[in-house]
């Protein structure tokens, strides 16, 4: 882990530093929010960022193989033509280092870093009923006050490290993929155990296996995966993207998931088995998340989904040579894409290597960690390094970790004891002037994140512009509007197969004790965009606005 930056500023150290807005986080969301408030509205804003650089999730996630699953030409801001013309991605999917280079480029191009304080982890944010201002305190004791508090903390930034007895006694080294050492980890000659086979584990296992003496993958839930088919982008493709960006952007803004590909308008039931096989085979060969778009009903109709699921399971059985390992890897308990579908580079092929083993911890749960390794009821696996690819306390974790207090000192963690409650994923009743970019109840993680982020940031910016122009001191959702939105989020999830994956992090099921509530809005980005626009057009319906 990088060493902590010493304070380089006295700002907020002896008296509160005062801004129109405090933005927490310097990833895609925080950078664009700063640009909008400062350069479009002329407000003062300070970004507080825990890391020592920009990047958000990509500042922390530097594990082997870390790469975005969205194709690079769509994993991008779309608000500036100059920026689009000025940047060319090099690979079909951007790696973590290239995304950091991109975000640094954006920060430099729009001169954003001068308004970001790095190494500033927020310890507390409290609304002051008397002044109508937020007071934000960092772990290093600096204080900020602002009319607006905007959280841009990401959905997947609070590491979930399982509480396995004996971890403290482990004599080797252990790491969580979301808190990866910046200097990297040398696996040469080491016996490595990796716990977790989500999108992250599926990316990291093949890379670790190439370097380590031996890799044991501990799998609790078998997972589907489609080959990513990554590779360098041709000059022709780069030129195509530059020339056609307005159409690509229009596609990203019109599809349910914000990607640059469209979903077929055909039902899987309207194709013969031979036609379906051909379509799935073509999608498999093309690779990537658009496998989901092969038919319009794969995410909503179980029997349509079964056809894709069976195709993908048969691919696992074809690729993996050892029948027992193939059986364990293809014994999948949920519909395809009901959990976030991973894409991979040589994931299933990795299990054909002599130095890789699979342990089924659903059948043989992990009992404890000893100084020497991991123990299941099948025995002890001796290890030098444990890699926790065990995901995140998603969506609510980063917000609840900041000790946020609203009106009359009410704690966010008390308001959300039964599960998160927001209006549109944008605001919480009782927490005036606090905006949550890609908060629970927003489409966020079910979509291409930069698209969701741009929409949120622009909506928040318009809302703040409206408040400033009309002398409005305070905005917050009405309690009934938030209650209704929670019902709408549930109803939207129930229109899909998503709730059928009982162990998914969308439901909070991966963190013991977390309330089981379906958190993201599954109605699609296009529908959500219209709902937000209509709410604003009707004078911010569902919100209460109070004049100064
Ligand atoms: O985390 P996960 P992730 N014992 O929660 C297992 C995004 N992402 O980091 O499924 C044993 O999906 C757990 O098992 P189970 C993407 O949105 C994006 O992989 O709970 N196993 C599971 O196998 C993704 O969905 C990119 O039964 C335990 C794994 O650990 C999200 O991040 C790349 C366990 C966790 O899987 C999270 O993905 C990578 C225990 N106690 C990730 N606890 C992009 O490309 C957990 N597991 C943008």
Tell me what pLDDT residue 449 has: 98
| Alpha-carbon gap, residue 276 to 176, rounded angstroms | 40
CA 200–ligand 1 middle distance (angstroms): 6
| Ligand 1 atom at minimal distance to the Cα of residue 196 | 30
The string of pLDDT tens digits covering residues 39-74 is: 999 999 999 999 999 999 999 999 999 999 999 999
Tell me what pLDDT residue 1 has: 43
Across all residues in the chain, what is the average pLDDT? 96
Q: How far is CA 328 from CA 322, 358, 390, in A?
A: 10, 8, 19
The string of pLDDT tens digits covering residues 386-437 is: 999 999 999 999 999 999 999 999 999 999 999 999 999 999 999 999 999 9
Nearest residue to 356 via CA among 208, 188, 515: 208
* pLDDT tops 90 at residue 9: no
- Pick from 91, 391, 445, 498 the residue to mutate for probing ligand 1's pocket: most ligand atoms within 8 Å of its CB: 391
Tell me what pLDDT residue 4 has: 54
Which whole number is the average pLDDT over 229-239?
A: 96
* Binding pocket residue ranges, ligand 1, CB within 6 Å: 68-69, 156, 162, 195-201, 203, 218, 220-221, 340, 361, 366, 389-392, 445, 503, 505, 510
Q: How confident is the model at residue 548 (pLDDT cuts 50, 70, 90)?
A: confident
Q: How far is CA 177 from CA 192, 340, 362, 410, 514, in A?
A: 14, 17, 21, 34, 21
| Alpha-carbon gap, residue 333 to 329, rounded angstroms | 11
Q: How confident is the model at residue 6 (pLDDT cuts 50, 70, 90)?
A: low
CA 389–ligand 1 middle distance (angstroms): 6
| Closest Cα to atom 10 of ligand 1 | 221
Q: How confident is the model at residue 534 (pLDDT cuts 50, 70, 90)?
A: very high
Q: Which structural domains are found in the chain, ordered by start?
A: 17-158+393-547 (3.50.50.60)
The string of pLDDT tens digits covering residues 449-483 is: 999 999 999 999 999 999 999 999 999 999 999 99
In total, the chain counts a number of residues equal to 548
H or E stretch including 116? strand 116-117
Is-contact 131 65, C-beta < 8 A?
no
């Amino acid at each position: 882990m990088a060493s902590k930056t010493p304070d380089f500023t006295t700002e907020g150290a002896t008296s509160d530093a005062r801004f129109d807005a405090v933005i927490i986080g310097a990833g895609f969301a925080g950078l664009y929010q700063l640009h909008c408030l400062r350069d479009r509205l002329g407000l003062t804003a300070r970004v507080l960022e825990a890391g020592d650089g920009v990047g958000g999730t990509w500042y922390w996630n530097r594990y082997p193989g870390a790469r975005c699953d969205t194709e690079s030409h769509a994993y991008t801001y779309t608000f500036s033509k100059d920026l689009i013309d000025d940047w060319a991605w090099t690979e079909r999917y951007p790696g973590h280092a290239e995304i950091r280079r991109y975000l640094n480029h954006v920060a430099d191009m729009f001169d954003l870093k001068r308004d970001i304080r790095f190494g500033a982890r927020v310890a507390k944010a409290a609304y002051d009923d008397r002044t109508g201002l937020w007071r934000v305190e960092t772990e290093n004791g600096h204080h900020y006050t602002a009319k607006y508090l905007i959280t841009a903390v990401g959905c997947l930034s609070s590491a979930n490290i399982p509480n396995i007895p004996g971890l403290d006694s482990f004599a080797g080294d252990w790491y969580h993929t979301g808190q990866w050492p910046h200097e990297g980890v040398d696996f040469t000659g080491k016996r490595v155990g990796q716990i977790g086979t989500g999108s992250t584990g599926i990316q990291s296992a093949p890379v670790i296996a190439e370097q380590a003496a031996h890799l044991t993958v501990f799998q609790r839930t078998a997972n589907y995966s489609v080959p990513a088919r990554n590779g360098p982008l041709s000059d022709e493709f780069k030129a195509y993207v530059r020339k056609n960006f307005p159409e690509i952007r229009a596609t990203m803004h019109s599809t349910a998931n914000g990607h640059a590909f469209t979903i077929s308008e055909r039902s899987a039931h309207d194709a013969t088995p031979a036609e379906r096989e051909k379509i799935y085979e073509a999608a498999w060969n093309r690779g990537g998340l658009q496998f989901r778009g092969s038919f319009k009903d794969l995410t909503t109709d179980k029997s349509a989904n079964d056809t894709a699921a069976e195709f993908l399971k048969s691919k696992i059985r074809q690729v993996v040579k050892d029948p027992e390992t193939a059986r364990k890897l293809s014994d999948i308990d949920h519909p395809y894409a009901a959990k976030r579908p991973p894409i991979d580079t040589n994931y299933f092929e990795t299990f054909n290597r002599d130095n890789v083993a699979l342990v089924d911890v659903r059948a043989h749960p992990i009992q404890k960690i000893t100084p020497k390794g991991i123990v299941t009821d099948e025995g002890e696996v001796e290890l030098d390094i444990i890699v926790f690819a065990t995901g995140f306390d998603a969506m609510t974790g980063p917000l609840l970790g900041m000790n946020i207090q609203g009106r009359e000192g009410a704690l966010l963690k008390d308001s959300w004891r039964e599960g998160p409650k927001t209006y549109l994923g944008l605001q919480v009743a009782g927490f005036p002037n606090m905006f949550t970019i890609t908060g629970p109840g927003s489409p966020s993680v079910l979509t291409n994140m930069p698209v969701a982020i741009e929409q949120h940031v622009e909506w928040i910016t318009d809302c703040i512009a409206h408040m400033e122009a009309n002398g409005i001191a305070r905005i917050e959702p009405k309690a009934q509007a938030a209650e209704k939105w929670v019902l709408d989020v549930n109803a939207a999830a129930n229109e899909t197969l998503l709730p059928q994956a009982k162990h998914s992090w969308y439901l909070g099921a991966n963190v013991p004790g977390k309330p089981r509530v379906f958190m993201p809005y599954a109605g699609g980005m296009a529908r959500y965009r219209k709902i937000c626009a209509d709410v604003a057009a009707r004078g911010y319906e569902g919100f209460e606005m109070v004049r100064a």
